[in-house]
Amino acid sequence: MNPNFFYQPEAQFCADFIPYYENGVYHLFYLRDFRGDSAYGEGIPWYQVETKDFVHFEDQGEMLPKGTSEEQDLYVFTGSVIKAKGQYHIFYTGHNPHFGEKGLPVQGILHAVSDDLHHWVKRKEWVMYANPQYYEKDDFRDPFVYFSPETGCYHMLLVCRKKGGAISDGFTALYSSKDLEHWTDQGALWDPGLYHTHECPDLFQMGDWWYLIYSEYTDRWVTHYVMAKDLKGPWHIPEDDQFDGRAFYAAKSASDGENRYLFGWITTRQEGKDQGNWMWGGCLGVHRLVQRSDGTLACQMPDSVRKAFEEKQRLTAPLSLCREGGKIRKPLFTAPMLPCMLSATVTFASGTQRFGVTLYHDVVADKGYQFVFYPSQNKVEFAGITAPIRNDGLFRPLSLQPDTPISIQLIQDGEVCLLYVDGETALSCRMCEPMGHDFSFFAVDGSVTITEAQLSVKD
């Protein structure tokens, strides 16, 4: 059993979680990255981990092994799981970069079946390729399969690119089938002309709205969504169409019938350095999705995760920070070695330039990490203290109003840190090179009051 909040197999990494819920259990299939393991060799398999609460995890081992260098699925890339026709089905991407040298499609859609979600048989005779007359044959992947009672058909969403198109000619394609065997191209479901590809599509309905989730494989590497009242569109891009920042990617969702959760991976840094490049693969991050009154989506901490923490230290009286010009900082807690959660209510006065919370602050060297709130810009950003870190894309928009309490919850487990603001905004980050131990609050050129601050550790 792995008790970490941000699941990761020991000495290895996760990417592209494919969630499936049944009978109280979330079956999280994922791409296992054997990064740096020369003994494993080239290729990627699917593994599975199970959880009931996003706190405790049980590794179920390998589900879909990688193919040989002569087979389509040397890399077993993203797909989906569906129960139909008395069996469980995985439709997945088979990727072999060596096929391009032979003039063969690098990517194809493959199929596997199971009677129990744990033992899978690849249907080696079944494969589906892009129509080379219209689509790029090497960008054809990430099938998401669902059944539509309205049409009486199965539908498949796919990552596609127009043949010979521009850099922004990626789109989400729609295919249909009566039997899961023969698929017919129905054209584009979502074709905004904005991105190179729309990776890891996911589709669901909540209330009166349909939501299409996809991850931008262009320059920002973030997960987006669009919304519509009808599957035929028109699809609407909300003002804030992201769920998290740059460090959270390839997210897909699943529901237990009451709540819906979003499963993505929190990326790692090259060489484990704060200024290192972002890398493919990391650990699991889970958000609860909630619907606002206007239909837009927000991210919250799952209740089961919040309840896993036990209070250790509490601020007994309100803390006021006030400084005209310059910065004032007040250490409140010492970071424990265990996974912990910092929560507080923060109120700032009109005219405050910025404020926030610092993590693992070394007071002598004045180095550490900080979540900085900018009232004039209506955003929160993750950054370093004096020592810069590479933080491109580590910010989220939010509405900041003076004299209005702001609720923050912050989970830290190892080098991973996840901030929630007002139960609506999420920002995932990594702290690769911590030096100190202090958790503090600060204000710059203004006034801030902190109440209900407490530090909790894993129960």
Q: 394-431: per-residue pLDDT in tens?
A: 999 999 999 999 999 999 998 999 999 999 999 999 99
Q: Is the C-alpha dihedral spanning 122, 265, 24, 58 positive or negative?
A: positive
Closest CA to 79 of 65, 90, 63, 64: 90
User: Residue 16 is which amino acid?
Assistant: D
Return d(Cα 418, Cα 201) in angstroms, integer. Answer: 24
Among the residue ranges 16-25, 255-264, 383-392, the one predicted with the least confidence is 383-392
Say whether pLDDT at 3 is over 70: no
Closest CA to 455 of 336, 345, 320: 336
Query: How many CB atoms sit inside 10 A of residue 438's CB?
Result: 18
> Within its chain, how far is the Cα of 276 from the centroid?
20
Closest CA to 32 of 68, 77, 2: 77
Return d(Cα 407, Cα 421) in angstroms, integer. Answer: 6
Say whether pLDDT at 450 is over 70: yes
Mean predicted confidence (pLDDT) in 345-364: 94
What are 182's two structure tokens? 């023969």
Reading phi first (left if > 0) and then psi (alpha if -120 to 50, else beta), residue 152 is in: left
User: Residue 332 is which amino acid?
Assistant: L
Q: 25-79: per-residue pLDDT in tens?
A: 999 999 999 998 888 999 999 999 999 999 999 999 999 999 999 999 999 999 9
Return d(Cα 344, Cα 314) in angstroms, integer. Answer: 10
Q: What is the pLDDT of residue 2?
A: 53
Residue 323: exposure state from Cβ atoms within 10 A (0-12, 13-18, ≥19)? middle
Look at the chain and count its residues. 459
Residues 6+ apart with CB under 8 A from 129: 105, 108, 109, 137, 140
Q: Give the SS3 label for residue 337.
A: coil
Q: Is the C-alpha dihedral spanning 5, 7, 8, 9 positive or negative?
A: positive
389 pLDDT tier (thresholds 50, 70, 90): confident
Secondary structure letter of residue 243 according to DSSP: S
Residue 364: exposure state from Cβ atoms within 10 A (0-12, 13-18, ≥19)? exposed
Query: How many CB atoms sit inside 10 A of residue 239's CB?
Result: 7
Q: What is the pLDDT of residue 1?
A: 45
* DSSP of 274-328: TTSPEEEEEEEEEEEEEE-TTS-EEEE--HHHHTTEEEEEE--S-EEEEEEEEEE
* pTM over the 0.85 mark: yes
Closest CA to 283 of 2, 3, 12: 12
CB half-sphere exposure, 90, CA atoms < 13 A:
32
Reading phi first (left if > 0) and then psi (alpha if -120 to 50, else beta), residue 194 is in: alpha
Q: What is the mean pLDDT of the chain?
A: 94
Return d(Cα 95, Cα 69) in angstroms, integer. Answer: 10
Closest CA to 357 of 412, 316, 313: 412
Say whether pLDDT at 11 is over 80: yes
366 pLDDT tier (thresholds 50, 70, 90): confident
Q: 154-208: per-residue pLDDT in tens?
A: 999 999 999 988 889 999 999 999 999 999 999 999 999 999 999 999 999 999 9
Return d(Cα 78, Cα 143) in angstroms, integer. Answer: 7
Mean predicted confidence (pLDDT) in 434-452: 93
Closest CA to 352 of 405, 406, 400: 400
What are 416's two structure tokens? 């991973």
Residues 6+ apart with CB under 8 A from 202: 144, 212, 213, 214, 251, 252, 253
Return d(Cα 284, Cα 238) in angstroms, integer. Answer: 26
Q: 244-266: per-residue pLDDT in tens?
A: 999 999 999 999 999 999 999 99
Sheet holding 87-95, edge to edge: 75-84, 87-95, 107-114, 120-122
Q: What stretch of H or E contains 429? A: strand 425-430
